[in-house]
Amino acid sequence: MTMLYKVESGKNKELLYGISLAKAMGFPKRFLEVAEQVAVSLRQKRERNKQGSEARKMLNRRKLILNLHGQLRQASDSELDEDSLRSYLIRLREEFILRMEAIENGGSGEEIGGSEARPDDEDGMFDDDDVFDAVDFESLSSS
């Protein structure tokens, strides 16, 4: 068999290229089946994480904006003198920008310093689930 591939930098767009290559090289059938299961499982998990990550970003943006709204209302109702209010609003703006940038870069926006910081939600993108938990390795050796 002749494979006409060109080596280039970057990501391979062909799905399961490595498994196709392993098939062409004559790897055991059971090995290939498990490899395909693992590849599909990883792809599905990555897609779920990607969708969850975007939803989490939107939720964190909304929480940040609601928090800003509350802080602005408190500032409006406060009896701070003009200079103190100006200083407070400048700090508030800087903190808001930093937190929004943190959200856009994948964080929760809450890890920036300040008294409003709360611990991250426990629904992080990377958890302790292992894709290999679903693979029965004992059956691999019996083939």
pLDDT tens-digit readout, 7-57: 778 777 777 778 888 888 899 999 999 999 998 999 888 888 887 788 888
Judged against a pLDDT cut of 80, whether residue 78 lies above it is answered with yes
What CA–CA distances, in Å, run from 55 to 27, 28, 37, 105? 40, 41, 27, 14
Residue carrying structure tokens 């992080």: 124
Phi first, then psi: give them for residue 45, nearest 5 degrees.
Answer: -65, -40
Q: CA–CA separation, 93 vs 106, rounded Å?
A: 20
Which pLDDT score, from 0 to 100, does residue 64 have? 94
Residue carrying structure tokens 């062909």: 14
E strands within the chain? none
For 70, the 3-state DSSP assignment is helix
Positive/negative CA dihedral, 23, 21, 3, 43: positive
pLDDT category at 70 given cuts 50, 70, 90 is very high
Domain boundaries, the chain: 24-113
For 91, the 3-state DSSP assignment is helix
